[in-house]
């Protein structure tokens, strides 16, 4: 009789117990998978915004550098034209006094000097993005420029695009200094 009791105790799990354990395990696995996918989406969105911020930081730095030393600035037909004395090759212009034109085309900020081949400075703008400039205080004798970068972003493949505007002001340092030096 004692032998029968021992065999009854070491019998193991029943089929119902295995099925319940399997269902609980699948529910936990589905929850873990859901958390993983949510974190993956957040990571991709964070990376996308980081690339966008890097692009915008480069564009603002690049345009600011060129505008500060400008002798003349002109805005027409969606393009910003900056004339200045450059000491290095810049957008296809040899060192010296040249006019460089900036605009957004084919999802990138482009520049060109004269009628030469345009160069893409940076890629990453979405269709519908544009560069806008306002000469301050007026177009006749500007001492500053307000640059507006209007760009679109997409949160996902099927999401509606969002329109953003980044505005910054640049003082035309060389023009201001020339004005100060000519005053009595």
- Chain mean position to CA 7: 70
Asked if 136 contacts 143 with a C-beta cutoff of 8 angstroms, the reply is: yes
pLDDT tens, residue by residue, 120-129: 988 878 888 8
Q: What is the pLDDT of residue 182?
A: 84
pLDDT tens, residue by residue, 58-115: 889 989 999 999 999 999 988 999 999 988 888 888 899 999 999 999 888 999 988 8
Q: Is the pLDDT of residue 4 over 70?
A: no
Please state, rounded to an integer, the average pLDDT across all residues of the chain.
Answer: 86
Q: Rounded to an integer, what distance in angstroms lies between the CA atom of residue 118 and that of residue 125?
A: 17
User: In which band, very low, low, confident or very high, does the pLDDT at 9 lie, cut at 50, 70 and 90?
Assistant: low
Q: Is the pLDDT of residue 5 over 70?
A: no
pTM, 2 dp: 0.72
């Amino acid at each position: 009789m004692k032998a029968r009791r021992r065999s009854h105790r070491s019998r193991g799990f029943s089929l119902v117990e295995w099925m319940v354990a399997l269902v609980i395990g699948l529910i936990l696995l589905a929850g873990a998978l859901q958390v993983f996918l949510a974190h993956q989406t957040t990571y991709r969105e964070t990376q996308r915004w980081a690339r966008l911020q890097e692009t915008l930081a480069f564009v603002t730095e690049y345009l600011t550098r060129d505008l500060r030393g400008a002798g003349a600035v002109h805005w027409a037909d969606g393009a910003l034209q900056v004339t200045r004395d450059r000491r290095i090759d810049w957008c296809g212009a040899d060192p010296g006094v040249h006019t460089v034109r900036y605009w957004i085309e084919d999802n990138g900020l482009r520049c060109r000097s004269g009628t030469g081949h345009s160069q893409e400075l940076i890629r990453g703008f979405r269709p519908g993005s544009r560069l806008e400039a306002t000469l301050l205080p007026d177009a006749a004798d500007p001492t500053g420029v307000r640059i507006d970068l209007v760009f679109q972003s997409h949160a996902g493949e099927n999401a509606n695009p969002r329109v953003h505007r980044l505005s910054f002001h640049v003082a035309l340092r060389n023009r201001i200094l020339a004005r100060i030096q000519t005053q009595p």
